[in-house]
Amino acid sequence: MPASEQVRNESETFAVALRKALRAGSLPLDRVCERLALRGVRITPATLSYWQCGRTRPERPESLRALEEVEALLDLPAGSLTALVGPPRPRRRPVAGGDFSAATYRVYGRDSWQEGLLGPRVTRVNRDLAFLLTQESLRLDEHGCIRTVRVHHVVKALRGGAQELGNFCELDGRPFEIVPHCGQLGEVVHGENSGALLRFGFGRKLEAGETAVVDYEILAGCCAAPRPFYLRGIRRVQDVYTLQVHFHPDRVPVRAVTHFQENFTAPRTRVRPVRLDGSGCAHLYRAKCPPGVHGLSWN
């Protein structure tokens, strides 16, 4: 069925209509972005992914202009997607609380799904913690879906009283299971879309300068459309961040790159090619990791 028919037959939300149109167009997100770039429109696969999952939506003039080009690229009737976006949502003012509050909005963006999940409390997540080390290890299946994510954090209390760590998780609405290896799994806060906040307790209140370790694994179900990237948002300078991506032998990418973004919807910069090792693994390493969004993409 042509993509235009796919949209005309749906009286659904913008996110659903965009997702179905992209699937009908049979183009991976990175290819869509490449073709949009040839039309003079810069947009990242992450932005398209957030739009089609309902985490964010295009509201700024440049985003709406990009959406118009998406309609043209997918051979959709003009306005078929933009008409579903709706009026701009009211802007919230940042919550007082210093640089960390500002960094939260700077990295996640205004009206992010993280803010939608917690409201102003989003600025309080991990406010009293410094991340000394974060290690993430992903395993993909033969379809390119991320099936397991192993996460290891070492944190230090900036002041006395910190007793939990929060980690935002997004798996495109798939069912998932959390297996804690170190730290006590507490509340899992699910959003209306596909994001969630995982809370892990230390079992005590930390003293200022005291360290703690949280280690856990996410076991995810099958996905409908694999995302060829993984991103980690960092709001405060971190000593070390590493990311390993283990590809299935039947689906080893021809190219992988690391990159940086000022926030989740900003253009990618510092793009560097990555060579896979003999086991089909690519990795990213950052020392004195600055605030922003660090990621690895493949195709």
For the stretch 215-253, pLDDT in tens is 999 998 888 788 899 999 999 999 999 999 999 999 999
Work out the pLDDT band at 10, boundaries 50, 70, 90: very low
Q: What is the total residue count of the chain? A: 299
Quote the tokens at residue 104.
Answer: 């939260």
Q: List, for residues 39-94, the tens digit of each pLDDT value.
A: 878 888 888 888 887 778 787 777 887 888 888 888 888 778 888 887 666 554 44
Burial zone of 21 (CB within 10 Å; 0-12 exposed, 13-18 middle, 19+ buried): buried
Q: What percent of the chain has pLDDT over 90?
A: 47
Q: What are the structural domains of the chain?
A: 3-85 (1.10.260), 99-298 (2.60.40)
pTM: 0.69
110 token code pair? 């205004």
Nearest CA among 97, 50, 64 for reference residue 261 = 50
Task: Tell me which of 94-98, 149-153, 181-185, 280-284 is least confident.
Answer: 94-98
End-to-end CA distance of the chain: 26
Long-range contacts of 268-277 (CB under 8 A, 24+ apart): 268/44, 268/295, 276/247, 276/252
Asked if pLDDT for residue 196 goes beyond 80, the answer is yes
Closest CA to 154 of 177, 172, 132: 132
Decide if pLDDT at 174 tops 80: no
Over range 81-109, report the average pLDDT: 69
The confidence score (pLDDT) of residue 32 equals: 87
Helix (H, G, I), strand (E, B) or coil at 120: helix
